[in-house]
Structure 1
Amino acid sequence: MKGNTAIAISAGAPEWVEKRRYEHTTEEKKKLNLDNVARDILYKTLDKNMFSKIKTCATAKEIWEKLIQICEGNDETKENKLTVAQQKYESMKMRDGETMEEFDEHFSAVVIELTSLGKEYNNRELALKVMPTLPRECDVKTMAMRESKDLNKLELHDLFANLKAYEFELETRSEAGPLTSQPTKALAATTSEQFSPNTSKSAEQLSNDAMSLFVKKFGKFLRRSYNPSFS
């Protein structure tokens, strides 16, 4: 029974007829106002196509029930949607070039769809589904998480938060790699030059030249000492 109707006698048989506005009680006016607000909110969320399907509904409750029927369908339709969603879940894999943020959105959307259709997975099942779908670069991280964390208590958003942090760490190391390798190469080149045959030969030659010069000067000094007239 609608709140804004009353029994009236027409042609000897009782029937429900809509009350005139001034006949509404205070409580009925409040309910009617709330219904108007709810309908207005629902109308604003619908496009023209969907609005055409519910415009004959008299109350917000009728609109809502009609929308559920349209979106979810009957039992057979629900079953078909669930089958499709489960197939997407089972075939889920991180795509080439996909970031962890994108995979999080992709995976979570499928999980939400399954939940809306009545199929839910616990934390452990979700974690064990995500981990094998990741690239090999994440194997070390996923193995560590399996050993150090209780997967039954690891929420999906926490799982992806850990994976995003690890992805960032890998990217940071990758970017820093070429910079750290340059000094190493320079050091290797310097070391190679220091121990190359040509470099060693030059050093030996310099040592011999210095010794020859010293011997000549020392000989001249001795000759002057024993022969003062030597100039």
Structure 2
Amino acid sequence: MSKYLRRLGRDVWRSIEEGPHVSVLTPVQTDGATTRIGGGQPSLNRPTKDDLDKMENDAIAFYEISCGVAPDNFDIIINCKSAKEIWDVLENLYEGTGQAQDMKLTTALNEFNNFKAHAGESLEDSFKRFNLIVTKLSNVGTV
């Protein structure tokens, strides 16, 4: 999923890493006085093109991640307000905490170090089992 999101653009991925862009609107000053709407609230300057581009990237990231979530996991992210929040929830769900990742790595390394062909097992079956271990190691970032 991260590769797909990066292909959408560096700015889309940045909105996931850094969180949503918040446009800072300030009161408009004219001739030393704050312009007011109808004599009441101060009027605010409009978001810049850069603000609008960043907010659009936030919306794209949010939409794309939401569409990529399996229906049975959608209830986990339904209350998330940003793409970063969804990403963090899914990352924890699928990859686990640091302690869980360490356990996965230890398990995969033990399987790799203790790998032996079983008696009567075909070369093809041994290779399949070995390939699964290598895939596990790859998934925890060691290969």
Question: Partners of 1:85 and 1:65 in 2: how far apart?
Answer: 24
Counterpart residue number, 1:85: 108
Tell me how far 1:48 sits from its aligned partner.
2.4
Alpha-carbon distance in 1 for matches of 2:72, 2:95? 17
- SS where residue 133 of structure 2 aligns? helix
Does the 8 Å contact 2:20/2:55 carry over to 1?
no
1:97 and 2:116 are equivalent in the alignment: no
Q: Which runs of 5+ in 2 are unaligned?
A: 1-18, 27-44
| Structure whose residues are more often helix by fraction | 1
| Residues 4, 24 of structure 1: 8 Å contact kept | no
Q: How many residues align?
A: 105
Determine which structure has greater relative contact order: mean sequence separation of CA pairs < 8 Å that are 6+ residues apart, divided by chain length: 2
The corresponding residue for 1:194 is none
Name the CA distance, whole Å, in 1 between partners of 2:117 and 2:58.
46
Give the aligned residue type for 2:21. Answer: G
Which of 67, 73, 89 in structure 2 is aligned with 1:50? 73
- Give 1:3's match in structure 2, choosing from 21, 33, 36: 21
Give CA-to-partner distance per residue, 1:20-65, whole Å, 9 cap, x none: xx94321122122222222222222211232222222222222222
Contact 1:85 1:113 in 2 (8 A): yes
- What is the alpha-carbon root mean square deviation over aligned residues? 3.1
* 1:62 maps to amino acid: E
Structure 1 unaligned blocks of 5 or more: 9-21, 121-231
TM-score of the superposed pair, with normalisation by structure 1? 0.37
- When the two structures are superposed, what TM-score results if normalisation uses the length of structure 2? 0.55
CA distance in 2, matches of 1:109, 1:68: 22
Identity of aligned residues (%): 24
Q: What residue is the counterpart of 2:61 in the other structure?
A: 38
Do the aligned residues in 1 keep the contact of 2:101 with 2:140 (CA within 8 Å)? yes
Are 2:86 and 1:68 aligned? no
**Distance of aligned partners of 1:5 and 1:83 in 2 relative to their CA distance in 1, 3 Å threshold:** same
Letter of the structure 2 residue corresponding to residue 51 of structure 1: F
Distance 2:141 2:24 in 1: 40
> How far apart in 2 are the matches of 1:3 and 1:35?
7
Structure 1 CA distance for aligned equivalents of residues 61 and 20 of structure 2: 16
**Larger Rg over CA atoms:** 1
SS at match of 2:24: strand
Assess if the C-alpha contact under 8 Å between 1:38 and 1:60 holds in 2: yes
Aligned position for 1:126: none
Residue correspondence of structure 1 range 155-194 to structure 2 within 5 A: none
